[in-house]
Amino acid sequence: MIAGVFRETNRQAKLTDEEKAELIRIALNDTSVKEMLKGKEYRIIGAGIISRGHVVSGDKTREAYPGVQMYVGEDNWMKITLTTVLIDLDKKKIIRIYKYPYVKPTIPRGVTGEEKEEAIRIALNNESVKERIEGLEYEVRDVLAFEKWMTGEKLDTDDVYIHINGTPICYIATVNLTERRVIAIRESICGPVDKKRSGRNST
C-alpha cells in the first residue's frame, strides 16, 4: 500500500535530508497536526515528494507535493489511520491533510497445537455454539490468532471457524483464552466443502 507513494519525479524534485527533516518539523509544529495527534500514538513513515492522482474532465493526472506520511494510532494501536500532510516548503505551512482510516490494525500470527486445541474445546463447549450446530454435520476448518501490526503484541483471542458441511455457512467463535470463554459468535460465508467430508468434530 505504501510502495510507490513517495516518488522523486525528477532530479530537481528530490529533497535533501535537511529538507525532509524540515518537512517533519513543520508538520509536527502545525496547530492542526498537534490537535490531530493529541492523546494518540504516531509513527512517521517518510518525508519527501508525495505523488497524488486526480481525475479532471475524465483524464487522469498526477501532481507531486512535498509532504510527510505517518500512521496515527488510537486505542493502543487497535485503530490506525494513514495520514498524509502536504506542505508548502517555501512558505513553511500546511497545504492539506489527507486521512485514510482503513488500515488493518492486526495481522495473523502462528497458533501452537496446544493453543488450537484449547480454543476449539472452549468453542465447542459453549452453549450458544452448541445451539447453532446441534444436529448438523460440521468441521472445524481453522483457528486464527492475531497480533497488533504496529507493536507485535499478541491478542488474547482466537477465532475458531466451524463450517457446516454441505453448505457455504460457517460460524466464527471468538474465544478469549485468558478468560477461557466465547465472547462473540458470528455467521459468515466460507464457501462450500466436499460433501463427502463429514464428522461432528473433525479438525
Per-residue pLDDT of 35-88, as tens digits, reads 999 999 999 999 999 886 544 455 555 678 999 999 999 999 999 999 999 999
Domains, the chain, with CATH or none: 11-103 (3.10.450), 107-189 (3.10.450.40)
Mean pLDDT of 121-129: 98
Q: The whole model's pTM is what?
A: 0.70
In DSSP notation, the chain reads --TTSB---SGGG---HHHHHHHHHHHHHSHHHHHHHTT-EEEEEEEEEEEEEEEETTEEEEEEEEEEEEEEEETTTTEEEEEEEEEETTTTEEEEEEEEEEE--EEEE---HHHHHHHHHHHHT-HHHHHHHTT--EEEEEEEEEEETTT-PEEEEEEEEEEETTSSEEEEEEEETTTTEEEEEEEEE-----TT---TTB-
Tell me which residue of 128, 110, 105 sits closest to 186, measured CA to CA. 128
Specify whether the backbone of 37 is left (phi greater than 0), alpha (psi in -120 to 50) or beta. alpha
Task: Check: CB of residue 196 under 8 Å from CB of residue 169.
Answer: no
> CA angle at residue 179 from 177 to 185, to 5 degrees?
70
Q: Bigger pLDDT: 43 or 13?
A: 43
What pLDDT does 190 receive? 84
Q: Is the pLDDT of residue 6 over 60?
A: no
Mean residue pLDDT of the chain comes to 87
Q: Is the pLDDT of residue 131 over 50?
A: yes
Task: Check: CB of residue 118 under 8 Å from CB of residue 143.
Answer: no
